């Protein structure tokens, strides 16, 4: 899948779930090239461990939860469909 195709698929999937007039821009970058992206990568990994029920997930979530301003599920039922067996 090309970067353009990936961007379009994200746009089609996410925009209907966001407030009207939301501007959307996505760019794929190597997380090792940017400290800010590396931190975001770590946070996403920690949250994934929590939602996947993996070891340290609860501990990592408890560390992060005081900094979560709001939650909005953009991928409805993703975790249940992916991890239920």
pLDDT in tens, 8-63: 888 888 888 888 887 877 777 888 888 998 998 999 999 999 989 999 999 999 99
Token look-up 């993703």 returns 78
What total of structural domains would you count in the chain? 1
Tokens of 10: 């994200």
The span from the CA of 48 to the CA of 50, in Å, is 5
Q: Kindly state the average pLDDT of the residues 63-67.
A: 91
Q: What is the pTM of this model?
A: 0.60
Domain holding 48, by residue range, is 3-83
């Amino acid at each position: 899948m090309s970067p353009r195709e990936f961007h379009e698929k994200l746009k089609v999937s996410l925009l209907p779930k966001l407030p009207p007039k939301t501007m959307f821009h996505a760019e794929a970058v190597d997380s090792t090239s940017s400290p800010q992206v590396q931190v975001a990568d770590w946070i996403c990994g920690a949250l994934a461990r929590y939602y996947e029920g993996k070891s340290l997930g609860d501990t990592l979530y408890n560390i992060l939860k005081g900094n979560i301003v709001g939650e909005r599920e953009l991928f409805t039922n993703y975790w249940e469909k992916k991890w239920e067996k």
